[in-house]
Structure 1
Amino acid sequence: MRCREGVGGAVLERLERELMLLSRHQVMARRERDSQRLDRSAYLLLSRIDAQGPMSIGQLAEAFGLDTSTVNRQTAALLRCGLAERVADPEGGMARKLRITDEGGRRLAADREVNCSCLARVVADWSPEELRELEDVLVRLNRSAEALEGRHWPRAEDDAGQAR
């Protein structure tokens, strides 16, 4: 089955294949992890809370476009493992929010370090210009997807007024 007919169709098919392979490589790298590595859902949830601050289950469900029951199960696992804790809404709202614990922050930072180390090996022979170009294109791709979904992922550079 073809993605789309015409000149762009072949390019879209190759792009889709490369994105699928990139996803596969990330999954394979996570399989080769030790027992201390976070699973994918924990990594994503903790990353979002880290980027945005304490969030309710409803806010997380909206941010990821998931059912609240799914997010409830995933956050229950974070709570059981001591990676997150329930806190009163810092802004005075009624809903309890989830905040990363010190252990959750330590594990998230350790996973990020492993991910960056693996990525550094992959792009070891790339120039700084090539790395910057890849970053720019991936940011643009992700921002376009976020715009279509209506779900923005907060970025530190947005807060600093340096968004590209």
Structure 2
Amino acid sequence: MDDSPEVAAIERAMVALRRSQRRRTLQRLRGGEVPRGASFDVLDVIEAEAPVDVRGVATSLSVDQPRASKLVAQAVADGLARREADQADGRRTLLFLTADGQAMVDEAHRFRQSVVERVTGDWTPDERAEFARLFARFADGFTRLKPGP
């Protein structure tokens, strides 16, 4: 294990970010409700991975399939997502955002981006660009991790 101060600083920053999100920091900053929780996470998955089925939602959210089915059903009932038969495999149902679901996701993007702008407001354009490059690379590394040492 690398016990460098840089690795420790990154780990502490990750923990601080996770804790601030758990405390509903974004909701507090906005001064009201923001799309959040597992049901909203379904919309994020559909937007990022469409077309996706319930199994794909379960995998992306690291929940079991019955939980994913329940979350998807709620998104459909709320008019935020719709189901369509897969034309290539009639046994499979694909998920897509409705206009209302897309509008909710778009609003969440705008708000989160405004928060990033506030946090990095005193950064130079080069600093923002470098952070964007490195943070995207860091996040991509997480998506490629496999279990084990």
1:130 aligns with 2:127: yes
Q: Could you tell me which residue of structure 2 aligns to residue 75 of structure 1?
A: 72
- Corresponding position: 1:31 with 2:23: no
**Whole-Å Cα distance in 1 between the matches of residues 88 and 124 of structure 2?**
45
Unmatched tracts of structure 1, length 5 or more: 151-164
1:57-115 deviation line (CA, Å, top 9, x unaligned): 01221233321122122212212211111111144441112211110001110111111
For 1:13, the equivalent position in structure 2 comes to: 8
Q: 2:136 aligns with which of 136, 139, 142?
A: 139
Alignment of structure 1 residues 76-115 onto 2, 5 Å: 76-115=73-112
Distance across 2 between alignment mates of 1:149 and 1:82? 35
Q: Matched residues in 1 for 2:53 and 2:17: separation?
A: 31
Letter in 1 for 2:17: L
Q: CA deviation at 1:7?
A: 4.2
Which of 144, 148, 151 matches 2:145? 148
Contact 2:82 2:96 in 1 (8 A): yes
Q: Calculate the TM-score normalised by the size of structure 1.
A: 0.76
In structure 2, the gaps of 5 or more residues are: none
Identity %: 23
1:27-52, Cα deviation, whole Å (9 max, x unpaired): 433332534x3113233321221122
In the aligned structure 1, how far is the partner of 2:37 from the partner of 2:62? Answer: 16
Report the RMSD for the aligned CA atoms in angstroms: 2.2
Change (3 A) 1:126 1:16: same
Alignment correspondent of 1:157: none
SS across alignment from 1:94: coil
Partners of 2:55 and 2:65 within 8 A in 1: yes
* Other structure's SS at 1:98 match: strand
What letter corresponds to residue 140 of structure 1 in structure 2? R
Aligned to 1:62: 59
Equivalent residue, structure 2, for 1:120: 117
Count of matched residue pairs = 144
